[in-house]
Structure 1
Amino acid sequence: MTETTAIAPRLTAQPSYPEDGSDAAAPRALKYVIERADRTFRGVARGGGLIVLTIMVLVGLYLTINAVQAVSAVGIVEFVTETAWSPETNRFGVAALLTGTVLIALVAIVISLPLALGMSLFITEITAGGFQRFMRSVIDLMAAVPSVVFGLWGLAFLQPAIVPFSRWLSTWFGWIPIFAVDGVDPTNPLPNTSLFTSSTFIAGLVVAMMVIPIMSSLMIESFSRAPIGEREGAYALGATRWGMIRSVVLPFGKGGVIGGTMLGLGRALGETIAIYLIISPIFDINPHILQRGANSIAAHIALRYGEANSFSMSALMAAGLALFVLTMVINFTASTVIARSRSGAESEG
C-alpha cells in the first residue's frame, strides 16, 4: 500500500482593514516618476514657448515706447481717424493705411481660400503615390519663393494681364460700390487703362499667390489625418467621394482650415515688398478695389523709413504698433475659434 502524505492547506493572507470608526485610514500615495527624456522634452517645449512669448512682448514694448512721442503729439483719436500722413506738419494718422491694409488682405483671403481648399482636397483625396509627393514638393517650393520675386512677377506680368479683367468687372459690376471706378467710361473705345493699375485688387492677387502655399500646407496636414475608419464607414453606407469629404474630411479638418486661413491673413496683413512694388500710394480711404491707388502700413514703413527723422520715425513706429495690435487681435481670435472647433469634433460619435 502506498502511503499518503497530508498536504497542509495554504493560508491566504487577508488584507488588514482599519476598524470601524478609526481615523487612521488614508489613501495610498502613488509616486509618478517622469523619465529623463520626458523632462528634457517638457523643458525644451516650455523654453521655446517662453522665448516666443518674450520676443512678442519685447517687440510690443519696443514699438510702444518709440510710438509714445508721436501719439502723444496728436492724440490717440486723431491718430486712428486721420487719413493724411504729414508728421512734419503734425497731421498724420493710420485710418487710410489701416483701411488699405485690411482691404488688400481681405482680397487676398477671398481669392486664396477657395484655391487653397480645392488644392488641398485634390492632393489628399484625388492624387496618390508619386504625383501626390510631387505636388506637395511644389507647394513647399512655392512657400520658399522670396516676396520680391512675387512682386516683380506681379508688376511685370500679372498687372498687364489682369487689367482687361478689371475693366470687365467694372463694366458689368460697377453698380456694386467696391467694383466702381471713378472717371471710367465703358463706352470709350480707347479706355484709360491706367485707372485700373496699381490697385488694391492687383496687390491682393499677388499676396494671394504668396499665401496659398502656406494655407495649403496646413490644410493638407489636417485633411490627411482624417480617420481611415470613418472614411471607409462613409463609403460602406453608400456615400460618394464628395459625400465622404463633406461628412468626414471637412468636419475633421475644420481646425486646419481656420488655422491656415488665419495664418494666411496674418501673412497678408504684414506683406511689404510685393505690395510696395505694385501699389501707387495714396493717403485717402479708397473702398474701390479696382481703382488705381492703395496703401498699406508695412509698405508705407518701407517707403518712408530711409528718409525719416526722429519724430517721423516715432510716427512710423506708431503705425507699426497699430499693425502689431491688429495682427495680435486676429491671431487670438483665430486661436479661440480653433479651440472651440477641434478637428474631428463633428465627425466623432
Structure 2
Amino acid sequence: MKQNSNTDLKDQRNDKLFHYTVKSCALFVLLIMLAASFSMIWGGKEAFQTFGTSFVWNSAWDPVSKQFGALVPIYGTLVTSCIAMIIAVPVSFGIAIFITNLAPNWLKTPISTAIELLAGIPSIIYGMWGLFVFVPFMADHVYPWVDEHMGALPLIGQLFQGPPIGLGMLTAGIVLSIMIIPFVSSIMREVFSTVPTPLIESAYAVGNTTWEVIWDIVLPYTRSSVLGGIFLGLGRALGETMAVTFVLGNAHQLSISLLQPGNSISATIANEFTEADSSLYLSSLLALGFILFVVTFIVLALARFMLGRLARREGA
C-alpha cells in the first residue's frame, strides 16, 4: 500500500514537471515574440518621434535630406503579396486535388517529392533564377504584350502600363507565387487526405461527379484547415526578402502600374541596412521592420479569428 502511494506521488511529480516544462516552452515563444517587437519599436522610436504617424503615409525616402516614409515599401509588400496569392491559391488547390483525388498511384509520389524539393530550395536561388532567367523573359515577351494589349483597357489599363524592363511588382509577385505554391499545396494535400474514404465513396455511389464530390464533400470538410494554409502562405509572402530584392527593382517610387519597379519592406531593409550612415536612417529601417511585424501579426490574427468563427459555426 505504501509502495503504491510512493508511486502515485512520483507520478504526480513527473506530471507536474512535464506540465511546467511544456508550459515554459510555450511561454518562451511568446517571450521571443515580445522581445523581437520591443527591440524593433525601441530601435525605431527616433523615426516615430521625428515623423510621427506621417512616417506610415509619407512616400518620400531620401537619405541625403533625412526624409523617410514607409508608404512605398508598405504598398509594394501588399501588392506583391496579393499578386502571389491570386496566382498561388488556385494553382495549389489544383495540385492538391489532383494528387489526392485524380492522380494514378504511380504519379502521386513523384509529384509529391517534387513539391517537397521546391519547398526546400533557398529563396536566394529563386531570386537569382528570377533575375537572370525570368526577368529577361518578362522583358522580351510578356511586358511588351501586356503594355500593348492590356494597357489600353478602360479603368484597369493604368495597372498594365510601363516600360518593358522586366523588373517590377508583377515579376516579383509571380516569383513569390512560385515560392509559396509548394507550402500551400503541401498543406492542402495533407488536409484533403484526411477526408474519410467512406464519405467520398458514398458520394460517388449516389451519382455525384468528381467536381461535386470535391466542392460539396472535400472542401466543406477541410475548409478551416485550407484557410489556415492559405494565410500561412500569405505570411510567408509578406516576409520574403531575397527573392523579392532581386526582381522588384528596388525603386522608392509610388506607382499604380504593376510593370514599374517598386520596393518592399524586407527588400528595403536588406538593401540599405549596411548603408545607414545616421541614427535616423537606421531608426527608420528598424521602424519598417516593426511595421512589417505588425502587418504580419494582423494577417495571422485575422486568420485565427476567421478560423475560430468557422469552427464555432461548424460546431453549431
Normalising by structure 1, we get a TM-score of 0.80
Instruction: Give the aligned residue type for 1:134.
Output: P
Do the aligned partners of 1:254 and 1:343 also contact (CA within 8 Å) in 2? no
Matched, 1:65 2:71: no
Q: 2:73 touches 2:264 (CA, 8 Å); kept in 1?
A: yes
- State the 1:327 CA deviation: 0.5
What is the letter of the counterpart of residue 71 of structure 1? F
Shift in CA distance, 303/93, structure 1 to aligned 2, threshold 3 Å:
same
Measured after TM superposition, the shift of residue 277 of structure 1 is 1.0
Maintained 8 Å contact 2:143/2:164:
no
Residue 71 (structure 1) shift? 1.1
In structure 1, how many angstroms separate the alpha carbons of the residues matched to 2:214 and 2:252?
46
Alpha carbons 2:66, 2:280 under 8 Å: kept = no
Runs of 4+ in structure 1 deviating by more than 4 angstroms, as ranges, are 34-45
Matches within 5 A, 1:82-121: 82-121=58-97
Q: Distance in 1 between matches of 2:12 and 2:98?
A: 42
Highest CA radius of gyration, 1 or 2?
1
Residue by residue over 1:105-152, the C-alpha shift from the partner in whole angstroms, topping out at 9 and shown as x without a partner, is 111111111111100111111125343223222211111100110011
- Verify: 1:262 aligned to 2:231, yes or no: yes
Aligned match for 1:297, one of 240, 265, 268: 265
Letter in 2 for 1:156: F
Q: 2:105 and 2:128 mapped to 1: Cα distance?
A: 35
Of 282, 299, 302 in structure 2, the residue corresponding to residue 330 of structure 1 is 299
2:161 matched to 1:181? yes
- Relative to the length of structure 2, the TM-score reads 0.88
Q: Is 1:125 equivalent to 2:114 in the alignment?
A: no
What residue ranges of structure 1 are gaps of 5+ in the alignment?
1-33, 183-191
Q: Does the CA contact (< 8 Å) of 1:253 and 1:343 recur in 2?
A: no
**Letter aligned with residue 305 of structure 1:** F
Q: How many angstroms apart in 2 are the aligned matches of 1:45 and 1:233?
A: 42
Going from structure 1 to structure 2, the CA distance change for 1:36 and 1:137 (only over 3 Å counts) comes to farther
How high is the sequence identity, in percent, across the aligned residues? 32
Seen in structure 2, the aligned counterparts of structure 1 residues 219 and 37 have a Cα distance that, compared at 3 Å, is farther
For structure 2, list consecutive stretches of 5 or more residues without a partner in the other structure: 1-10
- CA RMSD after TM alignment: 2.5
1:251 Cα deviation after fit: 1.1
Matched, 1:193 2:164: yes
Question: How many pairs does the alignment contain?
Answer: 303
Q: How far did 1:344 drift?
A: 11
